[in-house]
Chain A
Amino acid sequence: MGVTILAQFPVENKTGPQIIEVLSKRICALGATPQGQFLVDCETFTSVPALGHQRTVHVLHNSEQPATVFALLETGTKTIPLVTDGLFDLLIMKMISFYQSKKHTKTESKGPRFEIGDFSVKLGTVNITSNFKGILVEVEYKPCVVPAMCWDLIMEFMQGFLGSSGPTAPPAFLQNRMQEIYSPIDTIQQYLEHFTIFRKSTGPTMVMRPQQP
Chain B
Amino acid sequence: MDRDIEQLNSALNSVKILRSNVRRVFESVSNGLRADHGEEIKENRYILELQELLTTVNNNLRDVENSVANLTPPPGAFNLGNTTYLSQETTQDRQQLYGQLVNSYKWTDKIREYSALAGNILASNSFNKTYKTFGTTKRRKTQTSNHNVPPEIIENLITSIDRLFSDVTITASRPFVPNPVIQVALGRVLRAVIAFKGLMIEWVVVKALSEGSDVWTESRYKVFRKVTENCHAAMCHFHSPLMPDLAVRSFMHWFHSYITLFSAPCKRCSKHLHSNLPPTWRDLRSLEPYHEECK
The chain A residues found within 8 Å of chain B, CB to CB, are: 1, 30-31, 116-119, 141-146, 148-150, 152-153, 156-157, 160, 181
In the complex, what's the smallest C-beta–C-beta distance from B22 to chain A, in angstroms?
Answer: 58
Query: Are A153 and B223 interface neighbours, CB within 8 A?
Result: no
Instruction: Tell me whether B114 is interfacial, beta carbon within 8 Å.
Output: no
- Of A141, A142, A153, A156, chain B has the most CB atoms within 10 Å of the CB of A153
Across the interface, which residues of B come within 8 angstroms of A143, CB to CB? 190, 208, 221, 223-224, 262
Given contacts A118-B277, A149-B262, A153-B263, 11 further A-B contacts (CB under 8 A): A117-B222, A117-B275, A142-B208, A143-B208, A143-B221, A152-B265, A152-B272, A153-B273, A153-B278, A156-B272, A160-B273
The chain B residues found within 8 Å of chain A, CB to CB, are: 188-190, 208-210, 221-224, 262-263, 265, 271-273, 275-278
In the complex, what's the smallest C-beta–C-beta distance from B186 to chain A, in angstroms?
Answer: 12
A148, closest chain B residue (CB): B263
Q: How far is the CA of A54 from the CA of B22 in the complex (A)?
A: 98
Query: Are A117 and B262 interface neighbours, CB within 8 A?
Result: no
Q: What 5 pairs between A and B have smallest CB-CB spacing? A: A117-B276, A153-B272, A150-B262, A143-B221, A149-B262
In the complex, what's the smallest C-beta–C-beta distance from A140 to chain B, in angstroms?
Answer: 12
Tell me what chain B mostly uses at the interface: helix, strand, loop, or mixed: loop
Across the interface, which residues of B come within 8 angstroms of A160, CB to CB? 273
Across the interface, which residues of A come within 8 angstroms of B210, CB to CB? 1, 145
A1, closest chain B residue (CB): B210
Whether A156 contacts B277 in the complex (CB less than 8 A), given A142-B221, A146-B188, A150-B263, comes out as: no
Q: How far is the CA of A146 from the CA of B190 in the complex (A)?
A: 11
Whether A153 contacts B262 in the complex (CB less than 8 A), given A1-B210, A143-B221, A181-B188, comes out as: yes
Across the interface, which residues of B come within 8 angstroms of A148, CB to CB? 263
Query: Are B265 and A117 interface neighbours, CB within 8 A?
Result: no
Query: Are A152 and B263 interface neighbours, CB within 8 A?
Result: yes
- Of A146, A149, A157, chain B has the most CB atoms within 10 Å of the CB of A149
Across the interface, which residues of A come within 8 angstroms of B262, CB to CB? 141, 143-144, 149-150, 153
Query: Are A145 and B222 interface neighbours, CB within 8 A?
Result: no
Query: Are B188 and A117 interface neighbours, CB within 8 A?
Result: no
Across the interface, which residues of B come within 8 angstroms of A181, CB to CB? 188
Across the interface, which residues of B come within 8 angstroms of A157, CB to CB? 272-273, 276
A30, closest chain B residue (CB): B276
Across the interface, which residues of A come within 8 angstroms of B263, CB to CB? 148-150, 152-153
Q: How far is the CA of A42 from the CA of B190 in the complex (A)?
A: 34
In the complex, what's the smallest C-beta–C-beta distance from B192 to chain A, in angstroms?
Answer: 14
Across the interface, which residues of B come within 8 angstroms of A118, CB to CB? 221-223, 276-277
Q: How far is the CA of A119 from the CA of B276 in the complex (A)?
A: 8
Q: How far is the CA of A17 from the CA of B205 in the complex (A)?
A: 44
Q: How far is the CA of A31 from the CA of B265 in the complex (A)?
A: 22
Query: Are A145 and B273 interface neighbours, CB within 8 A?
Result: no
A3, closest chain B residue (CB): B262
In the complex, what's the smallest C-beta–C-beta distance from A146 to chain B, in angstroms?
Answer: 5
Q: How far is the CA of A116 from the CA of B276 in the complex (A)?
A: 7
Q: How far is the CA of A150 from the CA of B221 in the complex (A)?
A: 15
What would be 7 A-B contacts, judged by CB atoms less than 8 Å apart?
A: A116-B276, A146-B188, A148-B263, A150-B262, A153-B278, A157-B276, A160-B273
In the complex, what's the smallest C-beta–C-beta distance from A27 to chain B, in angstroms?
Answer: 11
Q: How far is the CA of A29 from the CA of B109 in the complex (A)?
A: 62
Whether A149 contacts B189 in the complex (CB less than 8 A), given A116-B276, A156-B272, comes out as: yes
Q: How far is the CA of A156 from the CA of B262 in the complex (A)?
A: 12
Across the interface, which residues of A come within 8 angstroms of B275, CB to CB? 117
Query: Are A145 and B276 interface neighbours, CB within 8 A?
Result: no
Q: How far is the CA of A168 from the CA of B268 in the complex (A)?
A: 23
- Of B189, B190, B272, B276, chain A has the most CB atoms within 10 Å of the CB of B276
In the complex, what's the smallest C-beta–C-beta distance from B207 to chain A, in angstroms?
Answer: 9
- Of A116, A119, A144, A160, chain B has the most CB atoms within 10 Å of the CB of A144
Q: How far is the CA of A153 from the CA of B275 in the complex (A)?
A: 12
Query: Are B209 and A156 interface neighbours, CB within 8 A?
Result: no
Across the interface, which residues of A come within 8 angstroms of B278, CB to CB? 153
In the complex, what's the smallest C-beta–C-beta distance from B231 to chain A, in angstroms?
Answer: 15
